[in-house]
Amino acid sequence: MIALDELMAVGRGGTSIAETLPDDAAQEPGALLDSVESRRLLAEAVSQLTDRDRVVVSLYYFENLTLAEIGRVLGVTESRVCQLHTRAVLRLRSKMLEASAG
């Protein structure tokens, strides 16, 4: 137990006790930087996909359409959309691996 004024009072070194309490919900700074870098690399990899692959990825992951719905949008079968999706994911995975190795 600690008094509220003591918690907020500035101690040695110019910090309050409240500033020294751990935040279990906070993300580690290194992990945050890795996440930002991963997103940048993924965005770059997506931009290098063919137009059709980019549309499939966008509709599937950002618009939450099913493969059948994407097929109707593109005028192809659900099976073909599955092939396009698999190809796009493999290309993205490859580009991400290249980027992380280099």
Taking the whole predicted model, whether its pTM rises above 0.85 is answered as no
User: CA-to-CA distance for 30 and 2, rounded, in angstroms?
Assistant: 32
- In this prediction, residues 95-102 reach a mean pLDDT of 81
Q: Are 92 and 49 in contact (CB under 8 A)?
A: yes
- pLDDT 10s digits, 32-47: 667 788 888 889 999 9
User: CA-to-CA distance for 35 and 33, rounded, in angstroms?
Assistant: 5
Spell out the residues 6+ positions from residue 53 whose beta carbon is closer than 8 angstroms to its own.
84, 87, 88, 91
Largest interatomic CA distance in the chain: 69
Q: Kindly report the CATH number that applies to the domain delimited by 50-102.
A: 1.10.10
User: CA-to-CA distance for 90 and 53, rounded, in angstroms?
Assistant: 11
- Please determine, for residue 72, whether its predicted confidence score (pLDDT) is greater than 80: yes
User: Helix (H, G, I), strand (E, B), or coil: what is residue 4?
Assistant: helix
- Count of residues for the chain? 102
